[in-house]
Structure 1
């Protein structure tokens, strides 16, 4: 294990297991981030910090605001209020493509591959700073052909790493759901990001491919990158995450190591409801019967 990786994970040992806990070396910091849709407050985060060089899981029940928070941090949506930064640079009103160029990239729960382009073309589009895309240099191939060759070599190396090299010339639309997720992850690495954010990377993936994806996520951390991912698979969360942040009803209700979070009463309440342990012998059966009869009468008259 590299010294940097050991230090990044060891530094978390002194971090208190409480919502919004400050980290020794945060790559992302955010405060008072609020996003409402009509009367619904989808995100209401007082403070969040993501430790550099480790894998952080963002978990919570459906509708907790996880993907909305992803969208806000990466510039795909704008909050009603709040501020956040990446590597100390404020990202308020910074568009998504500029956020990506800074080294903060993300994948999507529903994959965004360009189905009618070849796999290799999808990869090449992920590279930034291509001279051949500029208006004045585009007609002169001698100005950008060497760079394009380098980008193509990097794309081919990533396709081989993610076991997609055999699909190089296929249309991206022909890939399976799991292969599309691999392509998205590989394409994200064309930017050479410091932070990669994965939105439910295991959703809809068969068990065999899931193990491959797990290995790739771990390899990102081993390279010194920071990973933040949204996931519902608790086995995956326990297996690969160094730190876990829990959201419920738009707020951060708990965070800490996987072991501490899984035993946290706030987390149990968030997933099962605050009254999941109510003794059923205390329920007023007559009241339930009256409610049921009233519901049936209402249905009959409607």
Structure 2
């Protein structure tokens, strides 16, 4: 089992402690080179009309650690996720997973390579039961072909093994009592748990979580935090988008900050949170600059004039 060996079916043993320690030598700068990157992206650009949503020059994701991707709303985080996982295509750029190029590789093939993701808005199959949702997440199923599906002995044992694995994951994610319920009947937090558990059916090497805490009640947050940490201890790599800064500080080993589609800062959580570039990205440049007396007077006059103008218009 991955939890015992620190490996996935895709190979390499990963020591999470050594992986975190290796980050101590990495420069705290955008695009910093990592000792053992699992994902490398170069010159990724995605535009929508006249808007350049993503413009990433270079970024590397360290293997075996938890990396947070943060930034203000509209920074391009989810779009970048979509590009890396094959759900969207960039205008230009190259990126790789375990040294294998992913340009023009469709999303389902990316997942088969060991790079899976969840979504900000959960994508459970509402009219299937919880256990059926879990079975769908398994890869390499012999019964998926039209002809083989009609010959049950060909795939019966594999399905039994998949079901056992699914039940084990449902126990782990505290969803076993919901096993036969329709997925559409689950709460928002339970759907997040189901989506994460289903992602693990593929035994992935890299798990990408898009705002895993969005819409989750406080009672389930701690449970989700524990599950994300356990992924790292199993030897997996985690990359997640999140707005909850307490969560980022709690579980991330490295933080990458996006603003206006670009990577503006990188580093450990404590270092990044105090970086002026990060503060400017969230609050605007020179938000804390001191104002002299004349500047304060000018701002007050402009505000009073605006209020007076609005008062005249309302008469």
TM over 0.5: yes
User: Where does residue 89 of structure 2 map in the other structure?
Assistant: 78
Q: In structure 2, what is the equivalent of residue 116 of structure 1? A: 127
Aligned residues: 300
Which residue number corresponds to residue 289 of structure 1? Answer: 304
Q: Which runs of 5+ in 2 are unaligned?
A: 7-13
Alignment CA distance shift 1:295-1:45 (3 Å)? farther
Determine helix, strand or coil for the equivalent of 2:15: helix
Deviations 1:21-51 (A, max 9, x none): 0000000000100111111111000001000
Q: Residue by residue, what CA displacement relative to the aligned partner does 1:144-173 show, whole Å, maximum 9, x if unpaired?
A: 101110011111110011000000000001
**Cα distance in structure 2, aligned partners of 1:294 and 1:249:** 34
Query: Which of 30, 34, 45 pairs up with 1:34?
Result: 45
Q: CA–CA distance in 2 between the matches of 1:289 and 1:41? A: 37
Q: Return the match for 1:60 from 71, 82, 85.
A: 71
Question: So what's the TM-score if we normalise by structure 1?
Answer: 0.96
Q: CA deviation at 1:292?
A: 4.4
In 1, Cα distance between equivalents of 2:125 and 2:77: 25
Distance 2:37 2:290 in 1: 43
CA offsets per residue over residues 156-193 of structure 1, 9 Å max, x none?
Answer: 11001100000000000110100000000000001110
The Cα shift of 1:5 comes to: 1.4
Aligned equivalent of 2:137: 126
**1:279 positional shift:** 3.7
Distance 2:264 2:309 in 1: 37
1:195 to 195, 206, 215: 206
Structure 2 SS opposite 1:27: strand
Return the offset for 1:258. Answer: 0.5
1:136 CA displacement: 2.0
Q: Which residue of 1 aligns with 2:9?
A: none
- Spell out the pairing of 1:241-280 with structure 2 (5 A cutoff): 241-279=252-290
Instruction: Report which stretch shifted further, 277-286 or 57-66.
Output: 277-286
After TM superposition, the score normalised by the length of structure 2 is 0.92
